[in-house]
Structure 1
Amino acid sequence: MDQVLLARSLFGTTMAFHIIFATIGVGLPLMILIVEVLYQLTGDGDYALMAKRWTRGFAVLLGVAIPSGTIAGVQLSLLWPEFMKVVGKVIALPFQIEIFAFLLEALFMSIYVYAADRLSRGMRILSVVLVAFGAVMSAILITNVHAFEGTPTGFKIVNGELVDIHPWEAFFNPSFAVSATHVTVSAYMTGAFVVASMAAYKMLRRGLPQKEYVFHRKALLCGLIVGGIFSALTGLNGHASAQHLYREQPEKLAAAEGLFETTTYAPLTIGGFTDKKTHEVKYGIEIPWALSFLADNRFDTEVKGLNEWPEEDWPPLFIHTLFNAMVGVGMLLLLMSIVGFAWHRLLKRQTFPRWMIWSFFVSGPLSMLGIEFGWIFSCTGRQPWILYRVMRTSEAATHTGNLGTLFLLFTGVYLMLAVVVVVVLRAYFKRHPLGDDLLTEEDGMHV
């Protein structure tokens, strides 16, 4: 296999694994904060119990997110040495600040886990606020390096040397705002639907005691409502992201829509696959003028096609499928949340039919797939550049051998960690069943 492809495959596998835990690690603290606030406002012990149990699960997931993130950092230096020369001199700030964000998260999570029952109401909420803040700042800071790759600013390369370096300009690169917003709202959406998915899974059990059913129904509705809100916000941010691509990375937008010829009143193509030979999207459904409007809020906007650039600068054309899958997942999740909310709150139904619960159960895996589709689309759509129009991926890749062996080794490690996570979570919650916690909660209320 080609050396560059091997390097990309190894790092891509690492990120595909890490992003699962990193995303839940951002989304779950918000859900814990929401139920903690609900507990303080309503006095409903079920919400306090949700916060307690979700925090225990969060601690386990964080234990995997940390080493997998460390592996990703090591692999950056191992696989992309030329790129890391730029990182070290230009865009090191996000890595440095992220350490403090993580320390903030870890410190206050420890306080909340071990001392929540001894904290005042205000301190309980403040602790979770700081956990959630540290988590999302870590994600924003690390993702900002990826944003910098798409819009590299704050430096120049003259005769192979980095000059005129401005780290803060690189930090607040043109992609910073849209990237930070997207990683935040999509992570919150995913965390909410993971909660809804787990609640739905429990509700599928036959003969579930009424108290447990009510508990899981509360968790399900909380996940669906929060997930629906952030699904809508993710869609709005997606519109802003498309306009950003129109201005900053027009090849990527053209490839995402399979547009080869520069066009005014450009159509938006849904579905199908891009045929490189015929320069068309086969079996797609076109929405007239929609791409032009998406790009710049005008139906007569001129959108550049791929033929404006040499073919060697085209992104892989399969990103059209990734883009459609990402958008499709987001729309489906929004629909699920609307249906669930309407069924319970508008129609006043106290139980859900099993087919509906099954659909809620798949919302968690679907949201993770959406994150994976989006991440691959974002990274692959920048190709063949590791620094857009500054450094090609092939120029940054290592010449070290045995990458195939490393790929197999790390893949095995990730599979082992995934199994360990499942085993540990199942063992913990088997030893601490919900029924026992509900009895403890009820006894506490009667004391």
Structure 2
Amino acid sequence: MDQVQLARSLFGSSMAFHIIFATLGVGLPVMIIAAEVLFQVRKDADYATMAMRWTKAFAILLGVAIPSGTIVGVMLALLWPGFMEIVGQVIALPFQIEIWAFFLEALFMSIYVYAADRLKPWMRIVSVVFVSIGATGSAVLITDAHAWMNTPRGFSIDADGVISNVDPWAAVFNPSFFVTAGHVALSGFMTGAFAVASVAAWKLMRRGVTPREASYHRKGLMIALVIGAAASLGTALNGHSTAQMLHVHEPEKLAAAEGLFETTAYAPLAIGGIVDEETQSVKYGFHIPWALSFLAGNSFKTVVRGLNEFPRENWPPLFVHTLFNLMVVLGSLLIVMSFGALVYWWRSRKPMPRWMLGALVLSGPMALVGIETGWVFSCSARQPWTIYHIQRTADAATSAGNLGKLFVLFLGLYALLMAVTILVLWFYFKRNPVSRELSGMGRGA
């Protein structure tokens, strides 16, 4: 790999590792809020147990998210000096505000963890709500820089690279900010819910689970499915807004995502298949007539620009079509699985069959893969630009050597940290089984 590819690989692997913990850090507080509210409303001790155990898992994950996020920040400065030169003058504001969002999250997390038994019920809920606001705000503010990279605003740059006419608020509220912020928040809520659903479904499938434990896990599974279904549907609806934003502001990305080469009205939506540049078509795919035009402009007559309208050197890599399809398919499956399970429970009021529980065990990993795929798609489909139509990735990257060795070193470090995190979670909850806490708190309502 050349220097630019090594820099992208090193930074991308760091982001891929961090995004797991950052996303769960957005989603789990919402689950804790739901459990706390249900405990206060129903006076069922099972929900208090859920809130307590989910908080312990959240604290462990937060302990990894903080240093991994710090690594990403350092790498951003070291690997992309050309990019940071512009960022420091134009879009530094959300990074500065994010510090306060993290402070809010950490402060109220400490209050909730160490003083929960001394707080009034409404104060417990308020504390964890502020944890969620801080976590979500932190994710949204950091993602704002990514949105600005896709739709840069709030500055002028001359031929010599001199920045002028800086408007920090115009940069913050760039055209893709609200769509991107909504997608990040909703997908985080979705992933946190399905992570809980995976664990609850797995516990219900285990042989020898007692009726008492089964009742507890079914309650947790229902909370996860309700939140997961709502958030996954919201993510899909937000995806429609994203398509419209791409149609207006990043037409090359939309064309590459759909393998569309010729500008056309009544454009079809290509599902699956492989983009063939030689024949300028999507082979082996399924095409829904006129659907892409409707997604892009709410009208079948909408003219969608194709890749041939742009210079070949500005085309995104065509493999992003596969990434986009994988993200959409996983999201669609999660909607079907969650709503299907809820309908089954509502209609039958019976325990879910093992095949359904087995499918739900996969929901958490599917959500995480969808998150990773979405981020890789969004960044890869912006290439060859770091700042869209402003700065090429090759001009932003460092010229320092030995990146290959660092890439291998950090891959090993991330693998070790992931293994240690999984082991810590495993051993903690193995040594503190839910049966012990359920017997200590009494039977749920």
Q: Please report the TM-score for the alignment, with normalisation by the length of structure 2.
A: 0.99
SS of 2:218's equivalent in the other structure is: helix
Amino acid at match of 1:45: A
* 1:129 to partner: Cα distance: 0.5
What residue number does 2:179 align with?
A: 178
* Deviation, structure 1 residue 339: 1.5
Aligned to 1:261: 262
Equivalent residue for 2:246?
245
Matches within 5 A, 1:398-413: 398-413=398-413
String of CA shifts for 1:44-93, please: whole Å, max 9, x gaps.
11111000000000000000000110000000011100100111111001
Q: What residue is the counterpart of 1:118 in the other structure?
A: 118
Q: Which moved more, 1:163-172 or 1:383-392?
A: 163-172
Aligned to 2:141: 141
- How far apart, in 2, do the equivalents of 1:419 and 1:287 lie? 43
Q: How far does the alpha carbon of each residue in 1:194-244 deviate from its partner, in whole angstroms, 9 at most, with x for none?
A: 010011111111010111011111111111111001111001000000000
State yes or no: 1:363 paired with 2:366: no
Matched residue of 2:400: which SS? coil
Partners of 2:153 and 2:21 lie apart in 1 by 30
CA distance in 1, matches of 2:59, 2:104: 15
Displacement of 1:343: 1.5
- Larger CA deviation: 426-435 vs 186-195: 426-435
User: Which residue identity is paired with 2:440?
Assistant: T
**Within 5 A, what are the aligned runs for 1:117-266?**
117-158=117-158, 159-266=160-267
Which letter does structure 2 place at the counterpart of 1:259?
Answer: L
What residue in structure 1 maps to residue 382 of structure 2?
A: 382
Q: CA offsets, 1:353-377, max 9 Å, x none?
A: 1111110000000000000110001
Q: Which residue of 1 aligns with 2:276?
A: 275
State the match for 1:343 in structure 2. 344
Tell me if structure 2 keeps the 8 A contact 1:151–1:175: yes
Shift of 1:401: 0.1
CA offset at residue 352 of structure 1?
1.5
Q: How many residues matched?
A: 444
- Show structure 2 runs of 5+ residues with no match: none
Shift of 1:122: 1.0
Could you list the per-position Cα deviations for residues 266-298 of structure 1 after superposition, in whole angstroms to 9, with x for gaps in the alignment?
Answer: 001111010111110000111111000000001
**Alignment of structure 1 residues 21-100 onto 2, 5 Å:** 21-100=21-100
Residue 36 of structure 2 aligns to which amino acid in structure 1? E
For residues 423 and 297 of structure 1, the distance between their equivalents in structure 2, rounded to whole angstroms, comes to 49
* Separation in 2, partners of 1:366, 1:403: 31
Check whether the contact 1:156–1:165 (CA below 8 A) recurs between aligned residues: yes
| Alignment match, 1:304 | 305
* AA matched with 1:437: E
Say whether 1:331 aligns with 2:332.
yes
Distance of 2:45 and 2:87 partners within structure 1? 48
8 Å CA contact retained: 1:151, 1:174 = yes
Whichever residue aligns with residue 243 of structure 1, its letter is Q
1:83/1:396 contact within 8 Å kept: yes
Residues 110-167 of structure 1, C-alpha deviation per residue, up to 9 Å, x if partnerless?
1111111110011000001000000000000000000000011111112221111111
Q: Secondary structure at the match of 1:281?
A: strand
Letter in 2 for 1:211: R
Q: RMSD over aligned Cα, in angstroms?
A: 1.1
Cα deviation, residue 387, structure 1 = 0.3
Q: Which amino acid aligns with 1:32?
A: I
Contact (CA 8 Å) 1:221, 1:340: kept in 2 or not? no
Query: What is the CA distance between 1:428 and its match in structure 2?
Result: 1.1
Give the equivalent residue in structure 2 for 1:442.
442
Whole-angstrom distance in 2 between the partners of 1:104 and 1:160: 37
Q: Distance in 2 between matches of 1:431 and 1:283?
A: 51
Contact 1:265 1:301 in 2 (8 A): yes
Distance in structure 2 (CA, Å) of the matches to 1:285 and 1:424: 45
Rounded Cα–Cα distance in structure 2 between residues aligned with 1:429 and 1:269: 45
Question: Structure 1: how far apart are the matches of 2:161 and 2:96?
Answer: 26
Which residue in the other structure is 1:287 paired with? 288
| Runs of 4+ residues deviating >4 angstroms | none
Q: Distance in 1 between matches of 2:66 and 2:435?
A: 32
| 1:234 maps to amino acid | T
Amino acid at match of 2:29: P
Secondary structure in 2 matching 1:286: strand
Query: Scaled by the length of structure 1, what TM-score is found?
Result: 0.98
- The 3-state SS of whatever aligns with 1:274 is strand
Q: List gaps (5 residues or longer) in structure 1.
A: none
Whichever residue aligns with residue 161 of structure 2, its letter is G
The one-letter amino acid paired with 1:49 is T
Question: 1:295 and 1:188 mapped to 2: Cα distance?
Answer: 26
CA–CA distance in structure 1, aligned partners of residues 251 and 426 of structure 2: 47
Q: Is the 8 A contact 1:98 1:142 kept in 2?
A: yes
Matched residue type, 2:425: L
Q: 1:374-423: per-residue Cα shift (whole Å, max 9, x none)?
A: 00010001000000000000000000000001101111110111011011
